[in-house]
Structure 1
Amino acid sequence: MKKFSAILVFFLMFSYAFVGIQSSSASVAQNDAELNFPENIVFSLDLKSADNVAQVKLHYGTIRDACGTVSALAYPEFTTGSSINALWEWNMLQSGGEPPGTTIWWQWEYIDQQGKSEFTDKKEILWLDDIHDWKLLEDGLIRFHYYENDIEYATTLKDAAVEALNHLHEDIGMLPDQPVDLYIYSSTQDMLDAVFYVPGWTGGLAYPDYNILIIGIDPDNLEWGQNTEAHELTHVLVGDYTFSCLGSTPTWLSEGLAVYGEGGASSFEAAFFQQNVKADTVMSFSVLSGGFSEDPDIADLSYSQSFFMVDYLIQTYGKEKMLSLLQRIKAGDAIDEALQYAYGFDLAGFQTEWRSYYDLPAWDEVSQQNLQNPTPVPTIIPIQGIDSQVVPSDPVALQSTPVAQPTQSSVSANGIVDWLSRNLILILVIIGVNCLLLIVIMLLVRQKGAK
């Protein structure tokens, strides 16, 4: 019996040694990402002892607010053999680009001929140019990135951002849940060189889902830069407070809060608004819930009126109700339901009360509807994508993420056939060894029975 057991163990070890050799794990020799900002990023992987690797995949994405886990998937071409090299390029010109300062992550998956998957460690890289000598000033929840060789310039703008954040906290009660990164370029052109597909007059972009804003601020235009910082910071905070996969924030609320955040309407904007109040040419609230007009005069009125709508709510009902409104939008309520919950009236009721405050008659929708048709304008959602919001660069005058592809849960039928054809000899050897083992067992059993 001992002899029988020894033979059995020997043949089992001999049989499965072939499988063990074939399914040995590959080792990662190199796993890198090379930036060519802002055009592309190239991911590369080198594997050793990779004879058994049949497929390579790249999982990648960005760190941002999203509706669930968002992961894109790429199937790069790769060389085969004992060493494998895989390369894949993320072309930002095709995808629309990511905000400067975005954290990009990636992870490789390689699958052997038996269908077993292994993953490399997840790695991250900062999407930012190396042309400028970026410096960092940190103050509370503000991370101020700049490269202008003037510490007074940087300190002035950093302090203005901190002050704007404090103002928003005191007046409205809003604070970000994580630090906000400000990337300040020393000119509008430098900023435009870092992004794709935005209008040439763009002076600043806010990316609420990333907690990032970028602005081009000339050292000779600090006052405009300070106001723009406050405006864009408010967009980031409002986006953070109202982020929802179920609805959207009306434009009058987002832009009205942004103007409120920068200190309110200018004297020119206030005077222009009062002229329209006297002439009873203020706009319908339902119109201001959509995109603002491309017409400069109507756009100016849209911004100033939005501020006075938001200011009325805050001054009349306090910051707690404004926060409640934002929280209901975040929960997925439409603006009518959110206003009803926070204030006790819907949008039409708000309009009636607001107009009464300015001694205006009740709104006649029928007579006005043909005068104020909303037209989408890139100052609210530029071509770069819905994740950014933009302000004009003239003080007088928003990662995309590639669509995730479905993953494969198992090796396809074609892959199985291909594997069988490549490993026919191995299969025949294993079958032969097991047949031989069966014969030996039968002989030993017969011999023992004869005794």
Structure 2
Amino acid sequence: MHPTLRMHIYKNRYAFAKFFLSLALSCTLLLSITSLMLAKSGVARDAITITSQTQQVHFPDSIDFSLTVNDAGGKITQATLYIQAPSLNGDEVHVVTVAKPGTSVHLAWHEDMQKADDFFSPGTPISYHWEIEDNAGADHTGTTQKFDVNDQRFAWQETDVQQFQIKYYNSDGAEVQSLRAGVDKAVKRLTSNLGGAPTKPITLWIYKDTNAFKSALPPNTEEWVGGIAFPDIRQGMFVVEDAQDNTLIRDMPHEMSHLVLHELTDGGVVDIPRWLDEGLAVYNQEYHEGELSYQLRQGLKNHQILRLSGIEDRFPSDSNQAYLAYAQSWDLVTYMYNTFGQAKMHTLIKDMGNSSYPNFDEDLKASLGMDEAHLENAWRLSQHQSSILTPDQEKQDPQPTKQVVTSSSSNPVPYSTLLLVLGIFLLASPGVAFASYFIYRRQVRIQQERKLAIAQAQRILDEAHWGPGPQSFTPIDPYAHYTNPGRYTQPAPPPAQPGNMLPPFPPPGASHPGAGEQFGSFTNEE
């Protein structure tokens, strides 16, 4: 190997070794600093420990949260309680300031459930955790605790019918059997009318008297409410005083209808209009009190039927207007079943449970062939009420428009994703560098071996043709094309030794030596 080439290789080896040694030292230093920082942070965090955390429900008044915490590195100054529940819009946050900071403190929070926004009905799942801070700058987050709100005033018992869990108290065997039979009958009716049955557990709380039931309702609930459903937590409540109570065939199937309908439409992109939700619930009742029919007749007679747009979100608080809203919603739903048939109503409910259409109007047009305005107008005309559409609007033939769901490519990449990519790059960089170095070394070795092989091949050819000895030659390019004529022509004769110079060909006028003649030296005579 040529000395210059060898020196160049040695220099490259030294440079690469120096580079990787510097890289290794830098990584080691960085990891050491990071470990020290994490260790220091860990010590600060571990200095705070929670020795106990409890909650006690006093339904329907309050919930008491308590916490005992110790600190080996400072004095506790503040704690923050985070409460999560399905009925809350985000976390409910309460800051508890320590009046006298110390290394061991007991903290408490009293949650007043008689406030409308802080009320949790029976069966509500609640989770919470504490975050503690001290005067040394340390903080600690406690583990998440979970519990379900229970009306502990009564000794509840349970029985199951299909997916419904019935909670009751102070009921004999006959009453329990009536409850079970009523639930089973209601499930069959709901499955037929709504086109499906629940697939997840639903809890029904059965109170024995009206006063107990009303005390379990959220604050500011209307007085005329005889049952209530909470679809977001899959819970329902109503009163059944005895086995012959009409609530078994009125309130119970009514509230069950809300719960089943919301499960069947879970996953849809639009809210169920209140008039449709309540209209279906009344339609699914087995018993209808005369007051409903009376209010409907009066509203039709006096042309005081409520517009659907006014009862989309909520019903009136006035009992008479509320009765009218229930009555006309029931009558409208009955009109829909009679006009379009049960199969199309099943399709409507199914459409509300998927995201193919962007709003309720589109669901109606896809399943029934008309939007809400045309549906309301057709029903009003069938009841001899005034039209709410102009003649031109009545002639319109609305067609459904499917929602096209597109993914936005303009969303910024999350910061955590960028950090993850950067971390992977930093971890992979040493491996890539080492791999590059070894690939480079292999290429250098291959080039050296190739040059050595060429030199050896040329030397063998020269020795075979001229005999051993130092020769001056031009290496043959091993990658030259095979048609190179220089590869296949006879090489020129070697130069003669001094004093025995022969021209390559006889000079002009000289004869060519014949066969068997010896070649002697040729000199010109003076």
State the TM-score bracket (shorter-chain normalisation).
0.5 to 0.7
For residues 129-144 of structure 1, the aligned pairs below 5 Å read 129-144=151-166
For residues 114-125 of structure 1, what are the structure 2 equivalents within 5 Å? 117-125=139-147
Deviation at residue 317 of structure 1 after TM alignment: 3.1
Does the 8 Å contact 1:265/1:307 carry over to 2?
no
Pairwise CA distance, 1:324? 4.3
Provide the rounded CA distance (Å) in 1 between the counterparts of 2:316 and 2:298.
19
Are 1:348 and 2:379 counterparts?
no
User: What one-letter code is carried by the residue in structure 2 that aligns with 1:33?
Assistant: Q
Q: Which residue of 2 aligns with 1:159?
A: 181
- Equivalent residue, structure 2, for 1:71: 91
Which residue number in structure 2 is paired with residue 258 of structure 1?
A: 281
Give the equivalent residue in structure 1 for 2:387.
363
Q: Which amino acid letter does the alignment assign opposite residue 368 of structure 2?
A: Y
- Indicate whether 1:230 and 2:253 are aligned: yes
Q: CA deviation at 1:18?
A: 8.7
Give the corresponding residue for 1:384.
Answer: none
1:303 partnered with 2:326: yes
Offset from partner CA, 1:381-435 (integer Å, 9 cap, x none):
xxxxxxxxxxxxxxxxxxxxxxxxxxxxxxxxxxxxxxxxxxxxxxxxxxxxxxx
Instruction: Give deviations 1:6-52, integer Å, cap 9, x for gaps.
Output: xxxxxx9xx99998765543232111001222111111111234443
Partner secondary structure for residue 311 of structure 1: helix
Cα distance, 1:126 vs structure 2:
2.4
Find the aligned partners of 1:66 and 1:245 in 2 and give their Cα distance. 21
More moved, 108-117 vs 95-104: 108-117
Name the CA distance, whole Å, in 1 between partners of 2:47 and 2:307.
66
Query: What does the per-residue CA deviation read over 1:341-384, in whole Å, with 9 as the maximum and x for residues that have no partner?
Result: 3222112211343355x374761579xxxxxxxxxxxxxxxxxx
Residue 123 of structure 2: aligned partner: 101
Structure 1: gaps (5+ residues): 1-11, 367-451
CA distance in 1 between partners of 2:137 and 2:188 (Å): 55
The residue number in structure 2 matching 1:322 is: 345
With the length of structure 1 as denominator, give the TM-score of the two structures: 0.66
2:105 aligned residue: 84
2:61 maps to a residue whose letter is E
* Structure with max Cα Rg: 2
Question: Matches of 1:173 and 1:276 in 2, distance apart?
Answer: 31
For 1:213, the equivalent position in structure 2 comes to 236
Query: In structure 2, what residue type is equivalent to 1:337?
Result: E
323 and 116 in structure 1: CA distance in 2 versus 1, 3 angstrom threshold: farther
Contact 1:50 1:84 in 2 (8 A): no
- Offset, 1:146: 0.8
In 1, Cα distance between the equivalents of 2:294 and 2:78?
66
Q: How does 1:163-182 map to 2 (within 5 A)?
A: 163-182=185-204
- The C-alpha deviation readout for 1:94-121, integer Å capped at 9, x for no partner, is 3351112212221122245665543322
Shift of 1:123: 1.6
**Counterpart amino acid of 1:233?**
M
- C-alpha separation in 1, matches of 2:143 and 2:55: 13
Deviation string 1:59-108 (CA, Å, 9 cap, x unpaired) is 1122x3788xx322221233532213221111112335111221222112
Classify 1:277/1:46 alpha carbon distance in 2 versus 1 (closer, same or farther; 3 Å): closer
Alpha-carbon distance in structure 1 between the residues aligned to 2:321 and 2:251: 21
Unaligned 5+ segments in structure 2 are 1-32, 391-526
2:58–2:152 CA contact under 8 A, matched in 1: no
Partner of residue 473, structure 2: none
Asked if the contact 1:103–1:127 (Cα under 8 Å) also holds between the matched residues in 2, the reply is yes
CA displacement at 1:329 relative to structure 2 = 4.9
Q: Percent identical across equivalent pairs?
A: 24
Shift of 1:271: 7.5
Partner of 1:183: 205
Contact 2:295 2:320 in 1 (8 A): no
Task: Return closer, same or farther for 1:153/1:50 CA change in 2, 3 Å cut-off.
Answer: farther
AA at the equivalent of 2:106? N
Distance in 2 between residues matched to 1:81 and 1:303, nearest whole Å? 59
Tell me how far apart the structure 2 counterparts of residues 44 and 339 of structure 1 sit (CA, whole Å).
51
Distance 1:119 1:208 in 2: 32
Instruction: Give the counterpart letter for 1:122 in structure 2.
Output: T
Relative CO higher for 1 or 2, CA cutoff 8 Å, sep ≥ 6?
Answer: 1
Aligned to 1:405: none
**Contact 1:39–1:91 at 8 Å: present in 2 too?**
yes
| Alignment partners' CA distance in 2, 1:266 and 1:20 | 67
CA distance in 1, matches of 2:118, 2:93: 17
Cα 1:198/1:214, change in 2 over 3 Å? same
1:192 counterpart = 2:217: no
